Amino acid sequence: MSKRDEGADLHPIPGESPIIVLVEPQMADNIGMVARAMANGGLFHLRLVKPRDGWPNERAIITSSGAHRILEQATVHDSVDDAVADCHRVFATCPRPRHIVINTRNARAAAEDLRTANAAGQRVAVLFGPERNGLTAEDIARADTLVKYPLNPAHNSLNLAQAVMILAYEWWMVEEPSPPRALQTHGTHVATKGELDNFMGHLLDELDACAFLRNEAKRPGMVRNLRHWFERGEVTEQELRTLHGVVAELSRGRMIRGRKERE
Amino acid sequence: MSKRDEGADLHPIPGESPIIVLVEPQMADNIGMVARAMANGGLFHLRLVKPRDGWPNERAIITSSGAHRILEQATVHDSVDDAVADCHRVFATCPRPRHIVINTRNARAAAEDLRTANAAGQRVAVLFGPERNGLTAEDIARADTLVKYPLNPAHNSLNLAQAVMILAYEWWMVEEPSPPRALQTHGTHVATKGELDNFMGHLLDELDACAFLRNEAKRPGMVRNLRHWFERGEVTEQELRTLHGVVAELSRGRMIRGRKERE
């Protein structure tokens, strides 16, 4: 049983996963949606600085869509200083320009840095400001790193949960092991070249029988085109069996019609 | 004036940007939040297949947070087939496992493929299913590619707008030119090594004067440590001017005290 499962006294283990700190969040609904976004990306520690609607709050439970354990274990703080006092690193996010000198990271680079800091056993907090105005310059001065979301400058209006969602998504993606591109085959497997050749032989025999390939000059090119198409589709052995059936049935129809026409 | 600005008759230009297709969306609020997410990531074309709450819908305008032009230009369709009839490529997103054989992409790879298809002048649609159950296997059979969101398997509950947000974010990130890591300096510039040396000289003079560096054996290491710290912080020339003032003022205090003590 991990420390996380021991109940409400949870204190985030350094290097476990980053802590999301919502500074003066206005709507309880948004706190719940933040918890949902966090759970999607594998983040579990939430701290709230002076939540406007009070805490705990039933609205947040409703919008968390099952991520209520994050809410149950969230802690409430009087100030940003109090919320980050035990953290080794503090990242801040802010959609508005602030005239401060600070290291900046886009969300992807920030996630990589969070993983690095975490792997080094550091406890890291990421600050998100109030919905309306974002963090103050004073709040950001508590941070060592500013996270920027490089989005459409003509319409940059991430809401609080979306901002947390993108960070949580990038956090998850840093160590995502599944391949970016794959064929999902569900139980069946891609046909071997031998199985495909066998089918191509079947098809060509039938096409020759119905004289579709009768133009000897064009025959090689037509055969090659057909083969290209079947190769490109990464056909599975199950699909090939269906295709064998299709060719056999179409041919049978032709043979029956042929027989009738001869009658 | 781009074609996009000509009004409600908009027909997406092939290769311009992907079309988001919401298949039987249930809540109009969610359609507005999808438009907001699209605008954040630079997507503009929305098609709706049988929206449950009817269309147009005031709720959607409210939740779109200023992205109402996307809603005004959205088109409504009776079927998925109708919505994608003019598209060269169709991607589908679905959180639930479907027993189909299909090429899969994670959201990042899908965004790269969208950019590639777009650059080749293809009109591409991305299907998102109803909130409750996602796309049917029948809908997905209209697609050539299935987009997967690699998120926490223990709590994978993206809502519709979040799913669109992540795709739109990845779409934007493919061609995002700003550097992932930078120092934001706002008008001032990072000090040159000469400026830093000049300050270190000032500081060391004063530290020698007050005998802080009196241990000759330890002096080189202490000086090196101080230099390491100042080098690491990428100090700006404006901050250096402040630091010069700090050192001068602290020294003046010491000198005044020294004078008083001698009196």
CATH number of the domain that A233 lies in?
Answer: 1.10.8
B2 interfaces chain A, CB cutoff of 8 Å: no
Choose the weakest-confidence range: A219-223, B6-10, B23-27, B128-132.
B6-10
Does residue A186 form part of some domain? Answer: no
Q: How confident is the model at residue B262 (pLDDT cuts 50, 70, 90)?
A: low
pLDDT of residue B15: 78
Q: Do both B89 and B144 map to the same domain?
A: yes
Mean pLDDT of B210-234: 88
pLDDT at res. B184: 85
Q: Measure CB to CB from residue A152 to each of B162, B172, B239 and give the nearest one.
A: B172
pLDDT band at B8 (very low <50, low <70, confident <90, very high): very low
* A254 vs A245: CA distance, rounded Å: 14
> Does B183 map to a domain?
no
- B positions 82-121 inside 8 Å of A (CB): 99-106, 108-109
Same structural domain for residues B148 and B51? yes
Last residue of a domain, one of A118, A146, A174: A174
Task: Using DSSP bridges, classify how beta strands B89-93 and B75-77 pair: parallel, antiparallel or unpaired.
Answer: unpaired
Residue of chain A nearest B164, judged by CA positions: A162
Same-domain status, B157 and B206: no
Residue pLDDT, tens place only, B199-210: 999 999 999 988
| Predicted pLDDT of residue B53 | 94
SS (H, E, C) chain A: CCHHHHCCCCCCCCCCCCEEEEECCCCHHHHHHHHHHHHHCCCCEEEEECCCCCCCCHHHHHHCCCCHHHHHCCEEECCHHHHHCCCCEEEEECCCCCCCCEEEEEHHHHHHHHHHHHHCCCCEEEEECCCCCCCCHHHHCCCCEEEECCCCCCCCCCCHHHHHHHHHHHHHHHCCCCCCEEEECCCCCECCHHHHHHHHHHHHHHHHHCCCCCCCCCHHHHHHHHHHHHHHCCCEHHHHHHHHHHHHHHHHHHHHHHHHHHC
- Determine the average pLDDT of the residues in A214-236: 88
Domain at A107, CATH number? 3.40.1280.10
Stronger pLDDT, A186 or B148, i.e. the higher one: B148
* Chain mean pLDDT for chain A: 89
Into how many domains does chain B fold? 2
Question: Is the peptide bond preceding residue A25 cis, with omega within 30 degrees of 0?
Answer: no
Cα–Cα dist B201/B55, whole Å: 71
3-state secondary structure chain B: CCHHHHCCCCCCCCCCCCEEEEECCCCHHHHHHHHHHHHHCCCCEEEEECCCCCCCCHHHHHHCCCCHHHHHCCEEECCHHHHHCCCCEEEEECCCCCCCCEEEEEHHHHHHHHHHHHHCCCCEEEEECCCCCCCCHHHHCCCCEEEECCCCCCCCCCCHHHHHHHHHHHHHHHCCCCCCEEEECCCCCECCHHHHHHHHHHHHHHHHHCCCCCCCCCHHHHHHHHHHHHHHCCCEHHHHHHHHHHHHHHHHHHHHHHHHHHC
| Pair B150, B35 in one domain | yes
What's the confidence (pLDDT) of residue A1? 32
Q: What is the pLDDT of residue B124?
A: 94
Q: Do residue A166 and residue A215 come from a single domain? A: no
Q: Which residues of A touch B108 (CB under 8 A)?
A: 173, 180
Percentage of the residues of chain B whose pLDDT score is greater than 70: 92
The more confidently predicted of residues B10 and B83 is B83
Q: What is the dihedral of CA A35, A39, A45, A46, to 10 degrees?
A: -10
- Of A174, A203, A232, the position where a domain reaches its end is A174
Q: Which two tokens stand for residue B101?
A: 């054989």
pLDDT in tens, A234-248: 889 999 999 999 999
Q: Is residue B88 part of a domain?
A: yes
Residue whose token pair is 């087939």: B81
Dist CA B71 CA B67 (whole Å): 7
pLDDT value, residue A261: 66
Give the mean model confidence (pLDDT) for residues B52-73.
94
Give the other-Cβ count within 10 Å of B233's Cβ: 13
Span A146-167, average pLDDT: 91
Domain-ending residue, one of A141, A174, A207: A174
Classify residue A184: in a domain, yes or no.
no
Regarding whether B135 and B23 lie in a shared domain, the answer is yes
pLDDT in tens, B132-191: 989 999 999 999 999 999 899 888 888 999 999 999 999 999 998 888 998 888 778 889
- Asked if residue A183 belongs to a domain, the reply is no
Q: Does B67 touch chain A (CB under 8 A)?
A: yes
Q: Which of A39, A32, A19 is nearest to A82 (CA)?
A: A19
Above pLDDT 90, what percent of chain B?
62
Q: Do residue B11 and residue B50 come from a single domain?
A: yes
Q: Say if residue B87 is in the same domain as residue B139.
A: yes
Do both B162 and B218 map to the same domain?
no
Q: How far apart are CA B136 and CA B49, in angstroms?
A: 13
The predicted pLDDT at position A262 comes to 66
Segment A26-47 shows an average pLDDT of: 96
Residues B205 and B80 in one domain: no
Residues A174-197 have a mean pLDDT of 88
Kindly tell me if the per-residue pLDDT of A3 is higher than 70. no
pLDDT at A7: 38
Scan for tokens 């270190």, then name that residue. B200
Looking at residue B24, its amino acid is E
pLDDT value of residue A136: 92
* pLDDT band for position A188 (cuts 50, 70, 90): confident
Does residue A217 fall inside a structural domain? Answer: yes
Q: Are residues B164 and B253 in the same domain?
A: no
Residue B101's pLDDT is: 86
For residue B178, list chain A residues with Cβ-Cβ distance below 8 A: 106, 148, 150
Interface probe, candidates A162, A164, A167, A172, chain B, greatest B C-beta count within 10 A: A162
Give residue-wise pLDDT tens across range A102-127.
899 999 999 999 999 999 999 999 99
Mean of the pLDDT values across residues B81-86?
94
- Stronger pLDDT, A168 or A101, i.e. the higher one: A168
Q: Among A37, A150, A239, whose Cβ lies nearest the Cβ of B178?
A: A150
The span from the CA of A33 to the CA of B197, in Å, is 50
Q: In this structure, is residue A56 part of a structural domain?
A: yes
Say what the pLDDT of residue B3 is: 38
Q: Does residue A153 sit in the same domain as residue A53?
A: yes
Question: Most confidently modeled of A44-58, A83-97, A199-213, B97-111?
Answer: A44-58
Range of the domain at A86: 3-174
Which of A65, A100, A152, A178 is best to mutate for the B interface (most B CBs within 10 A)? A152
**Cβ-based contacts of B146 with chain A (< 8 Å):** 184
> pLDDT tens, B118-130?
999 999 999 999 9
Distance in Å, alpha carbon of A223 to nearest chain B alpha carbon: 25
Is pLDDT at B9 greater than 50 in this prediction? no
**The predicted structure's pLDDT at residue B205:** 93
Q: Give residue A48's pLDDT band: very low, low, confident or very high (50, 70, 90).
A: very high
Rounded to an integer, the average pLDDT of A37-53 is: 96
Instruction: Kindly state whether A262 is in contact with chain B, defined as any CB-CB distance less than 8 angstroms.
Output: no
Please tell me the distance in Å from B216's CA to the nearest CA on chain A.
Answer: 34
Within a domain: B19: yes
